[in-house]
Amino acid sequence: MSFAPSDPGAPAIAVRDLCFRWPSGAEVLRDCSLAVPRGQFWMLLGTNGSGKSTLLRTLAGLLQPQSGTIELHPPVGFVFQNPDHQLVMPTVGADVAFGLVSEKLSPPEVQQRVTYALAAVNLLDFIRRPIYALSGGQKQRVAIAGAIARHCDVLLLDEPTALLDPDSQIDLVKQLQRLVKERGLTALWVTHRLEELNYCDGAFLLEQGRVVDQGNPDRLRQRLIQSF
């Protein structure tokens, strides 16, 4: 049901006719289809309960859809709304290294990956810093570094700015925009903050588990502003 794309020109994330319902029978995703071009930064918008988190979790393999197909290259990086649910080690460097334990790397290789990933999010100077001493935005950057260290080409971010103040919010979205461009990553970012649409290549609008509009972020923003 879920496999890596064979064609190098294929979208980095391709979802076709995905259906997901909870054991209660509640249908959340209904023939949901979308494609994110490789090397682009797309956002996913939709009202509360429209199925955004469920879609991201099925893409990450955390939930199994009943039908449909998902194509993306593992490993996939996931960044949650609350970084305190994601960062498990006492220091920044240890946390990024922790994500590499299953990869059986030598200590110098681990060091090299951690250094590279923290430099990517401008946190190399924080490598020995305790996690508790970081701001919310810095914690989200550590979570992103964890994905970069694992060589994830695809990042899924579920309302990563929801708990941040406005300055950290814009800082984080700009950092991701830069990372996608500089490192050829592909990102799908859930938000309900329309000002973040300034920084992405395109956006999807989800309604009742289905993509009902997609494309130019400015046009989607206008559509949403007019619907309020």
Residue ranges in contact with ligand ADP by CB under 6 A? 22, 26, 28, 46, 48-54
The residues pairing with 43 across neighbouring beta strands, listed in sequence order, are 189, 203
What is the closest distance, in whole angstroms, from the C-beta atom of residue 208 to Mg ion in the complex?
14
**Pick 59 or 134: Cβ nearer ligand ADP:** 59
What is the closest distance, in whole angstroms, from the C-beta atom of residue 122 to ligand ADP in the complex?
29
**Pick 56 or 170: Cβ nearer ligand ADP:** 56
> Contact with Mg ion (CB under 5 A): which of 40, 50, 53, 58?
53
At what angle are helices 166-183 and 136-149 packed, to 10 degrees? 20
- Rounded to the nearest 10 degrees, how much is the dihedral formed by the CA atoms of 3, 4, 6, 9? 130
What is the closest distance, in whole angstroms, from the C-beta atom of residue 151 to Mg ion in the complex?
27
Instruction: Compose the 199-228 pattern: x for residues touching Mg ion by CB under 5 A, - for all others.
Output: ------------------------------
Strands 13-21 and 154-158 come out as: unpaired
Interface residues for Mg ion in 65-84 (CB under 5 A)? none
Which tokens go with 43?
A: 């956002």
Q: Can residue 54 be called a binding residue for Mg ion (CB under 5 A)?
A: no
What is the closest distance, in whole angstroms, from the C-beta atom of residue 46 to ligand ADP in the complex?
5
The residues pairing with 190 across neighbouring beta strands, listed in sequence order, are 44, 158
Q: Which parts of 57-195 are beta strand (E)?
A: 67-72, 76-79, 154-158, 186-190
Contact predicate 18/29, CB 8 Å: yes
Residue whose C-alpha is closest to residue 70's, from 5, 165, 22: 5
**Binding site partner of 50, from Mg ion, ligand ADP, none, Cβ cut-off 5-8 A by kind:** ligand ADP
